[in-house]
Structure 1
Amino acid sequence: MKIKTKIALRYSIVTAVLVTVFATIIYFVSAHDRKIEFYDDLYKEGISKANLFFEAKASPETMHSIYKNNIEYIDEVEVAIYDTQFGLLYHDAKDIDIVKETPELIRNVINSKKNIDFYVGKYQAVGFIFHYNASRYVVTAAAYDGYGYNKLHRLVVNLAVLTFGCIILSFLLGYFLARRALKPVSMMSDKMKDITAKNLHLRLLNYNQYDEFGELAASFNKTLDIIESSFESQKMFVSNVSHELRTPLATLIGEIDYALLKERTVGDYINTLQNSKYDAARLIKLVNGLLDLAKASYEESKISMSEVRIDEIVLDAREDVLKSNSLYKVELQFSHPTESDAELIITGNEYLLKTAFANLMENNCKFSDNKKSTVKISSEENVIHLSFTDTGIGIPAEDLGNIFKPFYRGKNKEFIDGNGIGLALVDKVIRIHKGKISIDSVTDMGTVFNIDMPNIRQ
């Protein structure tokens, strides 16, 4: 069932409930008014006949004749007059006797300070005191309100028809309004069908940004932005990985083919093996970098986090860097002694942090003539400051905006081999740990990578 049909049905149900409640209230109010009005009519009829009997001195025969003539055409009121001793003075129809007066009933009327009214089967009846010549008499009047019940029945029929008509009308009106209100959704759906992997640049446009559909369109467009960016990144990633893998593999195969063309000297074979080892090492480093980059791209909720000390991780990263290349030098400097161990503790992933710090140290050493990286660690309030400094060739200003993009290599690529993964990995790791990284670099003077990370006291 479509939403607009559901809305129309719910609108109809609400309308049905409201109209039914309203019709029920009207019915009960009308029924109550009919009863009260008929009791008043009975009282007035009783007064009229008592006046006719006492004041006009009409004979019982005359009054009986009037009663019998009227009862053929209307629901005539049956009136009875008693004295206070239960003596019957007059009765319209003694043989019918709707009320069937009893001494107890007469006493109740006499003792009551106001008129009494009651039902006898389907008949309504009243009893009251009538005063004449300083004497008191008891008058009862009873009748069936055929006219009133017919009006009430017609009212019920009219209310039922009106309720049914309102329900049908509310469904049609609700369907029309829902269809009109949800028209932007249908338009969105049609436009969304045109968006495929080949034209992710398309967007949902021309919607009111202040209503719900505008918010939905904006959210969808943001999602498309993310998807399009992911697609482009994936394409670039695959293209760059293919290129980076193809070069060392082609070189490796070329070295092997060269060695197999004819018999070589032992020196030639050793040289071929050394070149092949170098190419294999490049492949291993590239694959390891890709794996680390993939780990850093996981959802944060899936990355294992624990409390770790930054200074200890920097020390471990320094040890790994020095083991991998004996020519590199990494100097550690602690700017200010910490008052509490908590100042250097963060919630993070030890492996990723160590990999990021090692990449920065290696980057400093690679691009410096003295192969040296100076790492400074300090803590201020709730922030840990780290800086990785070299005195190398620096980074050109035009490359600074792209330096953290995967596989991007600036003008300095001619000075040293690399694959453009290291700094992209560093940027992802620092952002995962809610930190910030910035670069200060001057060509031919050196580069400083500055990192600020929140400690556990924040």
Structure 2
Amino acid sequence: MKIRTRLTLRYAAISAFVFILLMCIIYLMTERNRSRDFYHDLNREAVTKAHLFLQNEVTPKTMQSIYNNNRAFLDEVEVAVYTTNFKMLYSDAIKNDIVNETPEMIAQVKKDKIIYFNVGKYQALAKLYKYNGAEYIVTAAAYDGYGIAEERALEEVLFIISVIGLSVLCGVGWLLSRSALKPVSEIVDEAESITAVELKRRLPVNNENDELGELSIAFNSMLDRLEKAFESQKMFVSNVSHELRTPMAALIAEMELTLMKKRSPEEYEQAIGNVLEDSNRIVKLVQGLLDMAKTDYMPEQINKEPTRLDELILDARSIVLKANPQYDVEIVFEQEADDDSYITVNGNSYLLTTAFRNIIENNCKFSGDKSSLVRISFWEENAIIRFSDNGIGISKEDAQKIFEPFYRGSNKLYARGNGIGMALVKKVVDIHGGTIQVNSVQGEGTTFIISLPHI
């Protein structure tokens, strides 16, 4: 069952309950007022007839004759007069008495002064009446034909109003639910049109302050993340296919060339060395691409914890020297930190270590003496790390594009690379809320300055 139908049924059910409850209250209050007014009329008629009888202004026979004649056309009140010791003095109807008076009733009236009760469809009362110092018991009973007829007419009116009212309420409920859920239908239609090739489409936001607006905003935010993840995946696949094509082709060509004819052990050894070198390049390329893909995740999805920068730099130095024993990496603390928090950042140790390793390798690779100088300092709210070399330097044009993925500058002939390392460094620094600058003089060297907010 659709929400629109459920809302309509619930609205109709609640409205029907309230509507019927109000109709019942109106009916019960009307019945109560009718009964009260009719008992008032009975009381007045009982007093009038008892007074006439006790004053002897009208004979009992005349009173009985008037009662019998009126009874054929009207709902005449039947009155009877008793003494307090249960002796009947007068009754309008001797043969067909409505009220069956008993000694117990007389005793109760003497105690309560007046009592009200029903006899079938008739309303009746019995009261204590005083006349000339004497006490009498007067009973009166009648059928409120006019009041009951009015009540039946009211029932019909209330029934018709209920049917019409409930029909209107159901219609209004359906229209309201349709109107209220129209934005949902629009969201559903738009959501169905969003596919993997059309992730740029977004759900409509009619009102940012209502629940549907918040839902659309949240869904659009999720689509932003999905689009970014898809773009990252597409870029990763595209980059892998593009960058692996050349080294894999070279690797295959080297192996095919080696197998074309028999060679000496030295030639096979040289060929295997070339294959191994190409394989290592492929491994580094794949690792760089994987690292770059990881940095494309949303920042909140990357685990971060308080991490000391000096320890990460020592780890990066160890990794670089293990792979390249000929490199020389020096670490200098320019300031003494009284508090470890000055060189501690909230970050991901793996990504930061990878970034530092890439910069150190870059320094050593483009430096004549294969060295890198790392200086650690802090200032106000940031920890500052400078990576310097005395290499060939970077031109101004290359410095502006050095952080673009797969960009290789004019120094690409000086050392091998794939253009991933510095792009990865930039992404890692951005994720950690830091900045990176490049100061370089061609022929003198390059310094990368990373600033990260410390704890």
TM-score (norm 2): 0.83
**Deviation of the 1:282 alpha carbon:** 0.4
| Equivalence for 1:100 | 100
Instruction: List gaps (5 residues or longer) in structure 2.
Output: none
Deviation at 1:318, TM superposition (A): 0.9
- Whether the aligned pair in 2 keeps the contact of 1:435 and 1:454 (CA below 8 Å) is no
| Equivalent residue runs for 1:202-213 within 5 Å | 202-204=201-203, 207=206, 213=212
Instruction: Confirm or deny: 8 A CA contact 2:386 2:447 kept in the other structure.
Output: no
Q: Which letter maps to 1:38?
A: F
Post-superposition CA distance 1:154-195 (Å, at most 9, x none): 433443343233223222222233333433443444444444
For 1:317, the equivalent position in structure 2 comes to 316
1:334-384 alpha-carbon deviations (Å, 9 max, x no partner):
233333556655565544433232122222333444433333334567764
Who is 2:28 aligned against? 28
Structure 2 CA distance for aligned equivalents of residues 393 and 92 of structure 1? 134
Residue 281 (structure 1) aligns with: 280
1:182 is aligned to 2:181: yes
Amino acid at match of 2:446: G
Q: How much has 1:104 moved relative to structure 2?
A: 4.7
Structural mapping, 1:400-411, within 5 Å: 403-404=402-403, 406-409=405-408
Q: SS at the partner of 1:182?
A: helix
1:353/1:158 CA distance change after superposition, 3 Å: same
2:52 matches 1:52: yes
Deviation at 1:53, TM superposition (A): 2.1
Cross-structure match for 1:62? 62
What does residue range 154-233 of structure 1 map to in structure 2 within 5 Å?
Answer: 154-204=153-203, 207=206, 213-233=212-232
Q: Distance in 2 between matches of 1:383 and 1:255?
A: 50
The aligned counterpart of 2:37 is 37
Distance 1:408 1:159, change over 3 A: farther
How large is the RMSD of aligned CA atoms in angstroms? 3.6
Residue in structure 2 matched with residue 365 of structure 1 by the alignment: 364
Q: Which residue of 1 aligns with 2:91?
A: 91
Moved more, 302-311 or 129-138: 302-311
Relative to structure 2, which stretch is displaced further, 437-446 or 272-281? 437-446
Q: Which deviates more from structure 2 when the two are superposed, residues 335-344 or residues 298-307?
A: 298-307
Distance 2:408 2:159 in 1: 81
Is this contact kept in 2: 1:83–1:138, CA < 8 A? yes
Do 2:375 and 2:386's aligned partners in 1 also have CA atoms closer than 8 Å? yes
Deviation at 1:196, TM superposition (A): 3.2
In the other structure, the counterpart of 1:3 is 3
Q: Distance in 2 between matches of 1:221 and 1:412?
A: 43
Contact 1:389-1:448 at 8 Å conserved across structures: yes
Aligned pairs for 1:281-430 within 5 A: 281-294=280-293, 308-341=307-340, 344=343, 349-378=348-377, 384-392=383-391, 403-404=402-403, 406-409=405-408, 412-430=411-429
TM-score under structure 1 length normalisation: 0.83
CA distance in structure 1 between the aligned counterparts of 2:152 and 2:397, rounded to whole angstroms: 91
For 1:73 and 1:400, how far apart are their aligned partners in 2? 116
Stretch of structure 1 that moved more, 296-305 or 121-130: 296-305
Cα distance in 1 between the residues matched to 2:412 and 2:62: 132
How far residue 245 of structure 1 moved from its aligned partner, in angstroms, is: 0.9
Q: Percent identity?
A: 46
Matches within 5 A, 1:259-274: 259-264=258-263, 268-274=267-273
Identify the range of structure 1 (183-192 vs 273-282) with the bigger mean alpha-carbon deviation: 183-192
Range 283-292 or range 25-34, more displaced = 283-292
Q: Distance in 1 between matches of 2:184 and 2:249?
A: 54
Matched, 1:73 2:70: no
Deviates more, 1:131-140 or 1:245-254: 131-140
